[in-house]
Each structure stands twice: as structure tokens, then as C-alpha cells.
Amino acid sequence: MSAIWTVARRELKMLFDLPTGYILLVVFIAFNDYMFFVFGAYRFNVASLRPMFDLLPWLFLFFIPLVTMRSLAEDVRTGTIEIVLAQPITELQLLLGKFLGQLLFVWIALGLTFPTVIGLSLGADLHAGVIVAQYFGAALLAAGLTAVGVWTSSLTRNQITAAIIAIAAMFVLLLISWTPVLDGLPPSLSTVALHLGVLSHFRDIARGVIDLRDVIYFTTLAAAFLSLAYTSLMGRRLSPAGEGLKRLRMATVLMVVGLVVINLFGRNIRGRLDLTPGRAYTLSRATRDLVGNLSDIVTLKWFVSRELPPELAMLRRDIDDVLRDYRGAGRGRLRVIVQDPAESPEIEEEARNLGVPPVQFNVVGESEFTVRDGYLGLAIQFADQTETIPFIQRTDDLEYRLSSAIRGMTLEDKATVGFYIAPVAQQQPTPRSFNTFRQELQKTYEVRTMSLPEVGQPSDSVDVMVLIGAPDALALDQMDRLRAFLDRGGSALFMADGMQLPGQSEFVMAQDVLWNELLEPYGIKIQSDMAYDLLSNEQVALPTQFGQMVAPYPLWIRALSTRRSSVNQDIEGVFMPWTSTLDTSGAVEGTVVPLFVTSQGAGIDSMMAMLAPQRRFRRDGLGVRLLGAAVNPLAVDDFDGPRGRVIVVGNSDFLQDRFVQGTASNLAFGLNAVDWLAQDEALIGIRAKNRTPPALVFSSETKRDLVKYANIIGIPLLIIALAILRLLKRRQLIRRRYVRVAASEVAA
């Protein structure tokens, strides 16, 4: 082991003793950081390293061959390898030392990207587990590709030739699992390519899940190419016609074939370390409790075609993992049946009857383009009830969809939710629709549509009221009945605007919110204003003479989660268009929990607001504003008022269909709110697993620019400065005169 480390240390020192190593580091870091900040994090305003790690394999495609091209080729060309092997060191030790030294240099380059993490942490709360998994996966990727580079360097005496061969070999490994290429392969061949390609195995680790199958892939990739490099190295020593070299080549071929077979047929290898927040890709405790205490058999029938397009092959692997986890947690009361409708007409007819229709896939052949029917749907059966997922497009929300369906079918007593939508002004351009929110509620609750008179006379059977918007007036006796509903413990979600909803005009006026009379005993009030946020907002497309330009729209706020309640603890933020602020100055301490707030760059328009995106926004009086809050009067012992829980949001639009379809966190918050109000919080922890990266919000534009340029320019300049110091010091050592010391002086 000491010999291997001695060679590795020598290789690493040699890379830092030449200007080439520093040039490679500067180019790698500058290009990586520029692409990440300009076309990734800052473009989409999300605090995620995924754009950087999605680009990393393609950067390694050129960076690693340039690092490894001289590892063995230069020693062979200069004859140094014979001198080295004349020392007490074996070919295997030399090879492993060379590999380790080159790999350490690549890992150092990877570590120099970590300042991007520090920069993003100044604008968001990052998930440490995801970052650990991403860098661990990148380290495995570097090990696999470095082994390829060392192998190509063992094939030739010329460094440039070694680099070109390495680039070609790595390009093939990346290309065979690249989606555009997979689409052009026959299904059977594309499946093989998918399991042997680099990109498909790096994808899961880059999202924060370390799967044992992916670890095995990169480990075997490095082992296979190091075996080939060892055979090439030994071929210079052994006789070409000798039995020793033949046996070595045969053993190497068998080893490589065995490693390929492990990756092709290792789908049943289990083992996964989920480092995502809340373990998003692992069954939650609520799900395990649900399926582990079923009163009767629940059957999951998965209809899946044997031949699927390549982009769905890895999705099938993830679905299979989820269903296996469900079956294991079901304790014999949850059955999973996997069927291919193409095997028999009876299975195909059953799939159609259960509501799983065939889906047409585009298949690109060698000389033709065809459309083929396929299945990737699921039916959940319990007693005489059936819920269907006709086509599974993703797995990040699959647990919630399955658990909510199972719970909805097995739950005996369902709470009742009264659903009221206040009429809007006639100038509203399009009617408001909340069908998605309503349909999701119906999976767990009895949902009753309420008219204005019914809102003023809630029955004893209504447990939670969802009040979207506010009517212009209610009769005095109706208000008294609503107060009585809250006094006896009924709960309500209030969603109302302090300004008129935007219509045809660019101006909106302040209005009084009727619900404030009911909220007064709670000490909370919806203000007659409209908030804007200059730092945390969505973008809109503005027409220009050259087309369209994307610009921030401060009135469309990306509200930030406080994570102080089970309602929002796993939600990064929600999108609130044209929202009003809340006033909780009259609340009893301990009863109000802020849920969503603006950034520090928020202001308000009072009395009147202009909606045009091009308008100028005042920058005086900016600060954090409260946009959503939960009130639990039973959280304190001496509360003198209503007993019912309430959640108040100064916005009536954020759960509209057009907003929840593009922002899953909006829908998750709405459903969590109803669960909390109904005191039925079993699904809250599962639902929030459909998560998006946290929003990237800096306290000022100066800090935002400082983070970008410190990484793009500052880190490369620091590397250059260190390079100059080290190279100058080395030059001084080289120029130092040799002074012969007499033997008497040495003895003395």
C-alpha cells in the first residue's frame, strides 16, 4: 500500500509542478461556474446544483482525458517505466498508484466547485443530504472515467493520441445513454445501452439518492478499465506468444464480461440511501402505518408493456422499487400483480375495463418511424372500489397518489368540507376554476358545494369550510351562525383579497374584506392592500419589437415558507399572484403561526395599485410582510374566543387550476391546510414529497452579483495566484547551485 501511495503522491505533485495542471483547473472551474450561474441557478432562480451536475459528465469528457493522457504514455515514451519497474514495485502497484494520483487531481478540481454551494447558501437554505449525495456521485463518476483515461494512456506512447482515444471512449459511454440516441435504437438494444451508459446511472445520484446499483456500476466501470490497463501494461513484459499473456487476457475478458452481466441483470439488487429532505424517495412512516394496518386485502395491478421507449425504462425501475416497498410494508395484506396486456387479450381487456388505456409511443427505427401502443398504468382495488392511475409519468409524487387512494377507499368515516367560491366582478376576463383542488379533496373528504345562504347557515355535519373570496354582504343572522360554527370548534380556510381582483383595467382599488368581522376575535385581519416583492417573484414574458423578453413581475410573489407548522414544514414556498398582507397585531401570543412571508425586499400599495409589469415600484419602507398564517386558539389555555382553527391567506387565486398545475407546492399547501383544519394530518408528510428546489433569494442585488463573480472570476484568479507562487518557488529551487560537501563536513 505504501508503494501505491508513493506513486500516487508523485503523480499528484507532478501535475502541480507544471503550468498545465493549473491551466486545466482554471479553465474547468471558470467554464463550470459560468455555465452554472448564467444558464442555471440565476436563470431559473432556484438553489439547486442539478444544472451543474447535469453538465459535469460532458465537462469531464474533455477535462479527464487531458489530465490522464500522460500518466503512462509519457513514461513509456521516455523509458521511465522500465526504471520504475526495476524498483521493488509491481505493475499492479504502479497502475493503481497512477490511477489514484490522477483521480485525486480530478477530485481536487471537483472540490474547487464547492464555493458555489457556499454562495447559494447565502440566498437559500440548502439540503445538505442532497449535496452530499451529488458530490459522492460525482466522485464515483470521476473514478470511472479516470480509469478509462488511464487505460487509453497505457495503449500508446503519444499523449495526444491517448487523449483522443479517451475522449472517444468516454463519448461512447455518455452517448449510449443519451436520450436522443436511445430514441433511435430498437427497444431491446436501447435497454442494454441504458444499463451500460453513464448518464442513466448518474441521474439518480444527482437528485440525492444513492442507489447500490449505481454504485456497483461506477465501481465495476473503474475495475473493468483498470483490468484492461493492467493487461496492456503486462503485455509489454510478457511474451506475446506465451501462455502467461494468453491466460491473463482470457481472465481479463471473463472479468469484464462478468461485470457487464452484473450491470445488465442486476435489477434485483436492493439497497438505497435516500439523502433527500424528508427522504422523498423512501416510504414515509404514515404510509407504512397505513398499509401495515389494512383491514382487508388491497390489490395493486400494474399494467406495463415489456418493451417501452428508452426514456421510460429507468422510470419503470423506479416504479418497481416503489411497489416492492409497498408490498413489503403491507404485511401480506397488500398484493402487487404485474401484467403485460400484450401477453393475452384477457389481460388487455381487463386493463381497459379498469380504466388503463393503451398509450401511443413514438418508436424510431433504423429506417422508419412507427407508433406503438404500450401500457404503464396502475389500478388500486379494495372490496368493490377501484382507483386508477391511467399513465404514470413520474415517481416523485407516486407515494402520495397511492397512499391517498388507498386511504380514501379504506377510510370508513370521512369528514365533510364545505366549498364556497364568492362571485367575482363582471370585468373579470375569465371565470375562476378550482377543479384540481376540489378533486384532490374528494379523495379523502366529502366535499359539498355551498351557496351564499348555506355559507351563512353551516350545518352540524360540516367540519371544515373553504371560503374562497368574500361576498359583498351577509345578513346579520348569517354572520351570527358563522360565529357559532367557529365557536363550537368548526374550522375554516379563509382566502380573500384586500383589493379587487384584476380585470380589464390596469388599476385595482382597495376593498373591505367581510371575513375580517369573523376573524376579529382571533386578532388577525386581511389588509386592504397589495404586496410586491422585488427579490422573490415570478417572471413574465413582455412583448418587445424583437419578440418577447422575460422580466421579473414583483406583484407575482414567490412566498417563502417559515416551516413552523406541519402545514408548511416540507414546503419551500408557494406562488401568490396579486396578494394582500395580514395584520396579526391583535392576536393572543402563542395562537398565531406565520406560514408564508415575503423576502426583505417587499413593499405594499395601499388604496390603489397599478398592475403593469413595466411600472416602477417604490423602494422605501421595504421589509418582510406576512401573507399567510394559521391560528389555533387551543394552543393557549386562557384564550377567550372561538375554539375552531383557522388558516388565513390574503389571496383567493393561488389555488386556481392555472396556478396549481404549474406549481405543485400551491396544491400541497391547500390540501395540507384542509388536513390540519380537519385535524387529520396523516397525509401531510407524504404529500410534501412532491418538492421543488428552494427559491434563490438574496437580500440584495449586490450580494447576488458578488456571489456570481466571486465564483466565476475570484476562484480562477486565486488558482492563478497560487500557481504563480508555487512555480516561482520551484524555479528558485531548480536554479539553486549545487555545492559539493566534503566528506569531513558530512562526518562532522
Q: Which helix (H) or strand (E) segment is 143 a member of?
A: helix 128-153
How far apart CA 686 and CA 679 sit, in angstroms, is 16
Residue-wise pLDDT tens digits, 595-626: 999 999 999 999 888 888 888 899 888 999 99
How many residues are recorded in the chain? 748
Ranges of H-type helices in 197-275? 198-206, 212-234, 243-264
b/e per residue 251-275 (b: at least 16 CB within 10 A): ebeebbeebeebbeeeeeeeebbbb
Cβ pair 591, 635 in contact under 8 A: yes
What is residue 480's predicted lDDT score, i.e. its pLDDT?
87
Q: In sequence order, what are the residues at sequence separation of 6 or more whose Cβ sits closer than 8 angstroms to the Cβ of residue 467?
A: 420, 422, 455, 492, 493, 494, 495, 496, 515
H-assigned helices in 443-548: 452-455, 476-487, 516-519
Task: Identify the pLDDT of residue 681.
Answer: 76
- Amino acid, res. 215: V
Question: What integer pLDDT is reported at residue 600 of this predicted model?
Answer: 92
- For residue 539, the model assigns a pLDDT of 83
| Cell (9 digits) for 15 | 501535475
Strands 491-495 and 646-649: parallel
Could you say which residues of the chain have pLDDT below 70?
A: 1, 82, 85-86, 179-180, 182-188, 190-191, 236-242, 266-268, 278, 310-311, 313-314, 361-372, 425-431, 502-504, 544-547, 685, 688-693, 736-748
Residue 154, phi-psi category: left (phi > 0), alpha (psi -120 to 50), beta (remainder)? alpha
CA distance 639 to 586: 13
Alpha-carbon distance of 654 to 661, in angstroms, equals: 11
Q: Which one, of 326, 286, 291, lies nearest residue 410 by Cα?
A: 291
CA atoms of 586 and 590, how far apart (whole Å):
12
Residue 740 has a pLDDT of 66
Chain centroid offset of residue 203 CA = 11
Pairing of strands 416-421, 446-449: parallel
pLDDT score at 694 = 72
What are 405's strand-pairing partners? none
Smallest CA-to-CA distance from 154 within 142, 141, 169 is with 169
β-pairing, 464-468 vs 491-495, is parallel
Give the relative orientation of helices 310-329 and 187-196 as an angle to the nearest 10 degrees. Answer: 70
CB 315 within 8 A of CB 392: yes
pLDDT value, residue 367:
46
Q: Which runs of E-coded beta strand occur in 129-214?
A: 209-211
Q: HSE (CB half, 13 Å, CA atoms) of 736?
A: 9
Q: C-alpha distances in angstroms, 221 versus 149, 175, 226, 420? A: 12, 16, 9, 60
Structural domains in the chain, CATH included, are: 2-15+47-274 (no CATH), 285-406 (3.40.30.10), 416-679 (3.40.50)
CB 56 within 8 Å of CB 134: no
DSSP state letter for 472: S
pTM for this entry: 0.66
How far apart, in whole angstroms, are the C-alpha atoms of residue 680 and residue 671? 11
Q: Provide the CB-side half-sphere exposure for 587 (13 A, CA).
A: 22
Q: Are 407 and 683 in contact (CB under 8 A)?
A: yes
| φ and ψ of 449, to 5 deg | -75, 130
Whether the CB-CB separation of 698 and 119 falls below 8 Å is answered with no
**CB-based contacts of 28-31 (< 8 A; 24+ apart in sequence):** 28/59, 28/63, 28/109, 29/109, 29/112, 29/113, 29/715, 29/716, 29/719, 30/712, 30/713, 30/715, 30/716, 31/59
Q: Terminus-to-terminus CA distance in the chain, angstroms?
A: 37
- The CA radius of gyration of the chain, in Å to the nearest whole number, is 32
- Judged by phi (left if over 0) then psi (alpha if -120 to 50, else beta), residue 578 lies in left
Q: For residue 544, what pLDDT is reported?
A: 67
- Give pLDDT, residue 401: 85
